[in-house]
Structure 1
């Protein structure tokens, strides 16, 4: 019987093919087969971690000389079917309740995500040690339901056991997955009392838990208390900043990490490169690019994908494409990054051409179609956008998300199909979010539809009541229509709600230093030179036919005062600084925290033609590439 069972095991699992049992049902296998695996107890950045908890049951015991080792091999290979076959054989022999073997079986089922079987066996074991509890909690923490991991954690205390520094990262991971900040804080309190707060693995889990719950300050407090920090802990704190909208802090922490001499990992580089991309900080991105190459990551596809995304977001799509073509394996995330990069720069033809190539090599996902539909919107390709939307649903069985609807509303709005856009919103399969209504509001501004804009603002005031930008868009529309009573009403509404208008800010990086400007700013050391350059440009622009458009000024003041206001907008100050501090022909990249106004958009087209410069402005909505007096957005944004 034993011989037949072992022979079947060999046929069904290549992972155990080195165990040659055909001549002897219980031979002595090679030592490498049964050596204890390194259990992946640590949570970051992958499931493989150089951390090893001592197994209380050795691979060989007098009562069961080989079955424990066989089960351990199943654990290492995550081989469920051979594990079940061994379980059946143990039941036949009447030794399945052996404490040693039962623990091994629970471990097999747990790592193979067969948690119902694992828990069933767990309940039958009368003497459960800490290792056994950790194995099952780990399984639930990784695979869910995560509530079960937290429940087992509390049951441990009732059983008379105390969690250790292996238990705690698992249960904290479950809290992270559920964003269960209350449970997480309770576990943190136990960590303090039990003295595990300085443990680097527990600390990393706490940082991750607080980060997933949006509590970045708490995460940093934990991080600061750990004296000896490994790369995993640094990565956890970097991710905490990056995932919660603090890219500047992530970059600063990355520099601090480099100063300590800790070698960066793949996760380190991906996080800091992505943070550079979020703020379009090309010099920092280039610097990290060099650091990665010096540390041997030049052929790492994940780092390359992060870099191509960064270069695309910083306006260097050609460099992004070169990196994309050099990838050894083009994964879906890589295709998505380059397609989205082309789309955000208004290069619709290039994005759609890549999409057709992708369909032959990889399976598009929902992110792919966000990029494709965005490209159609940027290129005003209405029929193509409709066709791709139908393809997504019909051929790839992808249910539209709010992002897809936002792209379609934006596309319809750009093509002056406002009624169809509104009908689409009313018949959405998901609840419209602020992105959807914001796309409609922007389209209404482009085409001057006040009635629909008022409806969009009503919805937006419920979804994001503190976003002043929505009120400003409608106020500008009232001002352009000469409806000053509407402007006054909105201003009063903002005052009543305590909503303050966001201060426009633009910045440019010159010689590795960032220079930021506010509207009408005179605080810069080179202010005199900047305004002199603006005055010079203004004269040349008037000669070329430029006339200021003061419709975006929603103050009922004299026309010359309005002209002064628009002519000193922050993006113009940044451009003037770039012109007088860079060589002729140098491309300028300006980043603005708000939407670029209509007059500045026209003015920058004139400036690009007069100075023979390529000027890229990244505003809150999109990238604008100004060259030879035209903009890549086609004057619709």
Structure 2
């Protein structure tokens, strides 16, 4: 036991740090530092005060001078002073709050507080135990402060999360003219970095240049880091270029910061310069250059660096950071087998290793393997999934629409309390629920989140837009505008809200968003411009879309052209889609891809241009490396709409692994081209689980065949699978039953269906009209008007019903009300119904005047309806006049010649009838034959 302060420093130094602190506490535990010493140590107290009075003179300013103290002869004071310093040095490893306070009291009582090295260490000790108040108090007590004391106080503030106060203290230090060193500037740079005030880096840099401190590598490294954080890579490179002495940290800083600022090639070039300079790389360098290869997706280069790592003596399996970078690199470059091999060989896997392989599988759409890795990860005791893990797994659930698994992941997060730790987790959950169609769950989670950021708002906007809640998306966007200042908005906000403008009603709102986007400075961003082009096309403002495409002529890319080509094809502007493709080809700057061909082939199908469609088919075979199933499905649909079912079936046969969409396309093609029997036979070969679209195709085939047996079997299939409530299937069932003569059964299906689509209402109106029950059809129309607005197809069915039932006045009234009262512009199909209605009633001249009164050139179908009426009523004079018009419009249509010939036969004019038949034979024209279907059931 040490009983007095005269123990020699040499003896004290033999104790380790723990023993020395113990000695200090035991020796002075009975002393009352605030009120003097205990009575038993009064002789020590008197002697100590006497010695202090002699050896520690007071300066005119009132503080004791320490500079001469080591030269004093009194060994007691020197021993106590050395004892204090030894205790301070030994206490640096202590984390007990009482230790610095005890030392502080001893220094204060002994008069050693103004010793600057001791005070600096005491400041550091207070900082380590988190006693910032005492640090500030001690700093304020010091009358004389050198640069080390200032640095210690700034360090204390930085370590305790008071970066703004640290910057303030640095500014105060500069204002007072206190000399600073490179450490001071290094601490100031660290504080600015913590406050995201990297734009103030030039001020620190200027101070360093003025003071001649730029030769310090540590300071230069900090300046490079600060410049790069502010995305000022050129300034960081200038600092690096001016460095005389570069250490490994300097090289690593410039290599990593080039990569972080999106310049992986620069990162690799600096690595080359580093190897030429003779500086050996470490695990940080290798991790960075391998990550650069991953960013560039340069697999051969990444494999070369893998070899360099091994050759340099680094064993990736032992250096986890290097191995993790290799796993990520191989995954991003598509080498999942190599990534898995590296992962399996890692000796001590950390959570980053597991996240790297998990994310690698997810990136390569190996979702089954991703869930397997996640499950295996949970079985490792010392590894627990972190926030990055959960964000990746949640994203997978959203990508492949797994709402059940997504909810389970959400529950797991709640149990692990991960949801409350990071907003990033909540944002990923909102995004997942949105992509899985669970909009209300996403909205609930969004509303209960109090500290949401802009990502939260963007995720919720996307969830509304993806699930067709366009009005809710627009309302939420207005809330975003009131919540944040314009300077904080991101491009993601623009990209999230623009798809909500999907009709001409939203054009004004879309233009406002476009103006807002230009105001924020996103006008030059090509991704933003492409989204605006899509918006204008969806809103049917093609002039603005093409004008914007021309405006960005200097920067437009393939995505810009695809926005126009595919967008026009998807929104019914098929001719404009093909013209845009021609313009792109003439320009010759960019080449087409699969998206381009999807748009052009779809446009050809809708326009019935089979020859052009075949050309694009050949272009796809010639230019695309692999035949994508989506492209082949589009080809099947195109050939089907062009009535080339043989080519459609051939394309289907070439698909190595047809998905359900492929089967649906070919079944629909066969049923729409009056090959219903073949469609049903093909369905019997289907090994996949059918969906609603499959059954719509089958019901269409049954309707075309006119055989209720197939339709009833299909009805049973969809009931077993729970699709009977689908409103589109309800419409198809009504059509099928009414076409097969089972009107009452069709009406039962309609009445029992819950949600009724407008297609179902139209089918019922058409069914009553087809069976000559015009009054019922009009009653259904009145009932429908109370629930929804009629559309173009509604009036086709209604006018057809009036025509079949002879309700001329009612039919004409509905036709005249279409545009004025219901906003439905009449098209050719409506006019055919009116002409047929007047023709059936024998009002041929009124029908002729109706066509002439329209004012614009009518399609052949309208005149064809009048010709049929003339044939029925044997009006040869008008029929011949109408036929002349049709012969000019469609000279190769045999039906018009045959119809007029039959009119002459009815009047006994055989010579003219034979002449017309002879014309058909001479032109080798063929009329599509009619046919009847008889179903034979063998018992």
TM tier, shorter chain? 0.5 to 0.7
CA contact (8 A) 1:200 1:230 kept: yes
Report Cα offsets for 1:84-135 as digits up to 9, x if no partner.
4433444565644544432221122234544332222112111211112122
**Which residue in the other structure is 1:177 paired with?**
194
Cα separation, 1, equivalents of 2:425 and 2:444: 15
Report Cα offsets for 1:324-349 as digits up to 9, x if no partner.
33334333333322222222222333
CA contact (8 A) 1:478 1:487 kept: yes
DSSP-derived class of the 1:278 partner? helix
Residue of 343, 362, 386 corresponding to 1:365? 386
- Quick check: 1:273 aligned with 2:290? yes
Cα separation, 2, equivalents of 1:307 and 1:318: 12
Summarize the Cα distance change of 1:162–1:97 in structure 2 as closer, same or farther, 3 Å threshold.
closer
Cα separation, 2, equivalents of 1:288 and 1:80: 49
Residue of 319, 324, 331 corresponding to 2:350? 331
CA contact (8 A) 1:207 1:222 kept: yes
Q: What is the deviation of 1:610?
A: 9.1
CA contact (8 A) 1:441 1:453 kept: no
Q: What is the deviation of 1:150?
A: 1.8
Report Cα offsets for 1:35-84 as digits up to 9, x if no partner.
xxxxxxxxxxxxxxxxxxxxxx99x9555122212212333666765444
CA contact (8 A) 2:442 2:460 kept: no
Deviates more, 1:204-213 or 1:490-499: 490-499
Q: In the TM superposition, what are the counterparts of 1:404-415 in structure 2 within 5 Å? A: 404=425, 407-408=428-429, 410-412=431-433, 414-415=435-436
Summarize the Cα distance change of 1:470–1:117 in structure 2 as closer, same or farther, 3 Å threshold.
same
- Quick check: 1:550 aligned with 2:605? no
**Which residue in the other structure is 1:436 paired with?**
459
What stretches of structure 1 of length at least 5 have no aligned partner?
6-13, 27-56, 506-518, 539-545, 580-595, 613-637
Q: What is the deviation of 1:192?
A: 1.9
Q: Report which of the two structures shows the higher radius of gyration computed on alpha carbons.
A: 2
Cα separation, 1, equivalents of 2:103 and 2:138: 14
Report Cα offsets for 1:420-446 as digits up to 9, x if no partner.
66776677652443862785599579x
Q: What is the deviation of 1:388?
A: 1.2
Cα separation, 2, equivalents of 1:377 and 1:163: 55
**Which residue in the other structure is 1:29 paired with?**
none
**Which residue in the other structure is 2:90 paired with?**
73
TM-score, normalising length: structure 1: 0.66
**Which residue in the other structure is 1:192 paired with?**
209
Number of positions where the alignment pairs a residue of Structure 1 with one of Structure 2: 518
Q: Of the two structures, which has the highest relative contact order with CA contacts closer than 8 Å and spacing of 6 or more?
A: 1
- Quick check: 1:145 aligned with 2:162? yes
Summarize the Cα distance change of 1:547–1:500 in structure 2 as closer, same or farther, 3 Å threshold.
closer
**Which residue in the other structure is 2:849 paired with?**
none
Report Cα offsets for 1:155-192 as digits up to 9, x if no partner.
22344322212211111121222232453211211122
**Which residue in the other structure is 2:401 paired with?**
380
**Which residue in the other structure is 2:244 paired with?**
227
**Which residue in the other structure is 2:323 paired with?**
304
Q: What is the deviation of 1:244?
A: 1.9
**Which residue in the other structure is 2:893 paired with?**
none
Q: What is the deviation of 1:208?
A: 0.8
Cα separation, 2, equivalents of 1:402 and 1:572: 49
Residue of 287, 297, 322 corresponding to 2:341? 322
Q: In the TM superposition, what are the counterparts of 1:145-164 in structure 2 within 5 Å? A: 145-164=162-181
**Which residue in the other structure is 1:119 paired with?**
136
DSSP-derived class of the 1:465 partner? coil
- Quick check: 1:454 aligned with 2:499? yes
Summarize the Cα distance change of 1:23–1:341 in structure 2 as closer, same or farther, 3 Å threshold.
closer
Q: What is the deviation of 1:383?
A: 0.9
Q: What is the deviation of 1:384?
A: 1.0
Q: What is the deviation of 1:408?
A: 4.0
**Which residue in the other structure is 1:16 paired with?**
17
TM-score, normalising length: structure 2: 0.47
- Quick check: 1:469 aligned with 2:469? no
Summarize the Cα distance change of 1:475–1:496 in structure 2 as closer, same or farther, 3 Å threshold.
closer
CA contact (8 A) 1:277 1:310 kept: yes
Which protein has the bigger helix share?
A: 2
Report Cα offsets for 1:321-374 as digits up to 9, x if no partner.
333333343333333222222222223333333333434433433222111101
CA contact (8 A) 1:370 1:407 kept: yes
**Which residue in the other structure is 1:259 paired with?**
276
DSSP-derived class of the 1:227 partner? coil
Q: What is the deviation of 1:473?
A: 5.4
Report Cα offsets for 1:247-279 as digits up to 9, x if no partner.
222222222222222111222222222222223
Summarize the Cα distance change of 1:421–1:107 in structure 2 as closer, same or farther, 3 Å threshold.
closer
Cα separation, 2, equivalents of 1:207 and 1:600: 53
Summarize the Cα distance change of 1:245–1:456 in structure 2 as closer, same or farther, 3 Å threshold.
farther
Cα separation, 2, equivalents of 1:67 and 1:181: 41
CA contact (8 A) 1:75 1:108 kept: yes
Report Cα offsets for 1:375-402 as digits up to 9, x if no partner.
2123322111122123324532423867
Summarize the Cα distance change of 1:218–1:601 in structure 2 as closer, same or farther, 3 Å threshold.
farther
**Which residue in the other structure is 1:290 paired with?**
307
CA contact (8 A) 1:440 1:453 kept: no
Summarize the Cα distance change of 1:498–1:96 in structure 2 as closer, same or farther, 3 Å threshold.
farther
